Amino acid sequence: MIPARLYGPGLPVAGQPVQVLLDGGHLRVLQAPERRPTLTQVSVSVGGFDHDELFLTWEDPDGRWTVHPEGAAGREAFMKEAPETLKASLRQWRRHTGAQTWVLRGVAAGAALLVLSAGLLWWKYDAALGWVASHVSPETELQLGEAALKSLQGEGDLVDKGPAVEAMKQIGGKLTQGSVYKYRWLVSADKQVNAFALPGGIVVVNRGLLEATRSADELAAVLAHEVQHVEQRHSLKGMLNSVGIAAVLMVVLGDASAMITVMAHQAGAMAFGRDLESRADLDGVRVMQQAGIPGQGMVQMLTRLKEASPGEGPGWLSSHPETQARIEAVQAWVQVNPCGGCRALAVDWGKVQVSVKGLVTGG
């Protein structure tokens, strides 16, 4: 059996762990929902950041499905067992990934040299930053997030108990099923209307934002958006960008200390471009509806905060560009993708809002 992840209709955005095997001309997915396409239905493609991942895709009456053999062991096991009908595609994939490996080694060596010659790096900085972020291990990413969190906790403004935190855990659990991250949910006493995510799956929502919301569905929209910044590593890339390429290289080499101070001061003030914000909106609303939460909550939340401060906008929006365009994009997506099975979250929202009124900054 081959360890893999299955992606398809109704499954978590991060995929579902499965075991697969090649069985009499079929690709058999053992765990529910069990699938058994013929190998003639399966197409082989290459993907992933480094273009070294193997994806096996097919369609059936239920929709489009993809199996992703996990890790080098999973890929090798599949290649070893594959019948002649897939050998040609796999040989082509191996040639591609073999060449890619040599390219990546060259990039790694080149990146190190360019760090030493910073004046030559500026024109390739974005590409180098993306490459570096993809090579930061989840363990190091979590270390960075926890270090920044520890500094914030020293200010005495964060709480990890109470009705508001429990509501975040309940909602967040629905939005992060299948994630590789183990999320932590906290509330800050800060009255600014804001929320932010730290690398490694740490999400903080301010008292001000909780007081500005009118329902659990609206909070779900904020959490879904921030979760996407974690899942897509936007927070990590933004913090790497802020500390400079020398510190970035230290992180890749396993030394996170160069980032900790900057990250602590930066938490909550991260600004992303329109493309990343729109992506977090749309991926967030999609995950909301997959979890059975009405996507209209995202439209309501963005609209409410925009109307509350039509000028610069409250903190959660002031760093998020062109709010009206984002509202329209989410509204259009919800209209095209109605969710008949979605229901409003059953949370005592009045109790949540009352619970945060006693929080005091610096307490």
- pLDDT higher than threshold 70 for residue 90: no
Share of the chain above pLDDT 70, in %: 66
Our CA dihedral for 239, 242, 244, 248, rounded to 10 degrees, sits at: 0
Tell me the pLDDT tens digit for each residue of 301-339: 998 878 765 444 444 554 444 778 889 999 999 999 999
Question: Of 271, 268, 247, which Cα lies nearest the Cα of 320?
Answer: 271
Question: Of 307, 305, 281, 300, which Cα lies nearest the Cα of 345?
Answer: 300
Q: Spell out the domain ranges in the chain.
A: 2-95, 132-356
Question: Which H or E run includes 178?
Answer: none
Specify the pTM: 0.60
pLDDT category at 111 given cuts 50, 70, 90 is very low
In CATH, the architecture of 2-95 is: Roll (2.30)
pLDDT at 32 (0 to 100):
64
- pLDDT higher than threshold 80 for residue 215: yes
- pLDDT higher than threshold 90 for residue 56: no
Query: How open is the CA angle 163-350-356, to the nearest 5 degrees?
Result: 50
pLDDT at 345 (0 to 100):
95
- pLDDT higher than threshold 90 for residue 249: no
> Which of 241-245, 316-320, 347-351 has the lowest average pLDDT?
316-320
* Contact status, residue 277 vs residue 271, Cβ threshold 8 Å: no
> Which of 14-28, 109-123, 266-280 has the lowest average pLDDT?
109-123
Q: For 197, which DSSP code? A: E
pLDDT category at 96 given cuts 50, 70, 90 is very low
pLDDT category at 110 given cuts 50, 70, 90 is very low
* Contact status, residue 185 vs residue 197, Cβ threshold 8 Å: no
- pLDDT higher than threshold 50 for residue 109: no
